[in-house]
A and B are shown apart, each in its own frame.
Chain A
Amino acid sequence: EAGVAQSPRYKIIEKRQSVAFWCNPISGHATLYWYQQILGQGPKLLIQFQNNGVVDDSQLPKDRFSAERLKGVDSTLKIQPAKLEDSAVYLCASSYGAGGYSGNTIYFGEGSWLTVV
């Protein structure tokens, strides 16, 4: 079974430029997550989709970050304009269902490494 695919793997941009990350979840997974992981810290949830609807974006900096999942499969996370503090790994994850009480395992991709200079 194919895992969660992410691209690009690495990206270096200058501050105030824009960047987009793409994620293809495991086939059949309705729930998709984007996490941000700053060096030395645990991942922090940015946004969670259930099919193509947003169920949690409380920690997404909406003035510069946006995400979409138009057809309920692939997703794109965009940052515009980027700041130095956005340097991090952006992790995409997916699970079959959304229920935290049902033991649905969440699987992660390898991440997209962003450096803002």
Chain B
Amino acid sequence: DAKTTQPTSMDCAEGRAANLPCNHSTISGNEYVYWYRQIHSQGPQYIIHGLKNNETNEMASLIITEDRKSSTLILPHATLRDTAVYYCIVRTDSWGKLQFGAGTQVVVTP
């Protein structure tokens, strides 16, 4: 199964862009990159996903490198409510389960 590597933690100033890196060097050509986040005491929340092209929605942007071995989640204007654990996940098998790692603890400070 394709594994992901993320930094354990990162800080971000409120109002600034937060860039969260993820490495997935063993990803297969038809596997998607998903991002979820989990705010304390809540269930994981879907953010965005992509295959090859960059993607943007109302929450974030996803930049995938051309060789697909890494990606970056961008929160354009971080707020205090964006403090959470962010998970980068490669959706690996034909039955579509998500296999979570430890994620990145993001703390947004005033």
Chain A: residues with Cβ within 8 Å of the partner, total of: 31
- Give chain B's interface secondary structure class: loop
Interface-located stretch among B15-23, B60-68, B70-78, B91-99:
B91-99
- B46–A100 CB distance below 8 A: no
CB distance from B48 to the nearest CB of A (A): 10
Chain B's closest residue to A40 (CB) is B102
Q: Bound state CA distance, A48 and B94, in angstroms?
A: 12
- A99–B102 CB distance below 8 A: no
Q: Which of A31, A109, A111 contacts B96 (CB 8 A)?
A: A31
CB distance from B4 to the nearest CB of A (A): 11
* Chain B interface (Cβ < 8 Å from any Cβ of A): 30-32, 42-46, 49, 51, 85, 87, 91-103
New A-B contacts (8) at CB < 8 Å, excluding given A99-B96, A107-B46? A45-B97, A55-B95, A56-B95, A100-B31, A100-B95, A101-B31, A108-B45, A110-B43
* Chain A interface (Cβ < 8 Å from any Cβ of B): 4, 31, 33, 35, 41-45, 48, 50, 55-56, 91, 93, 95, 97-111
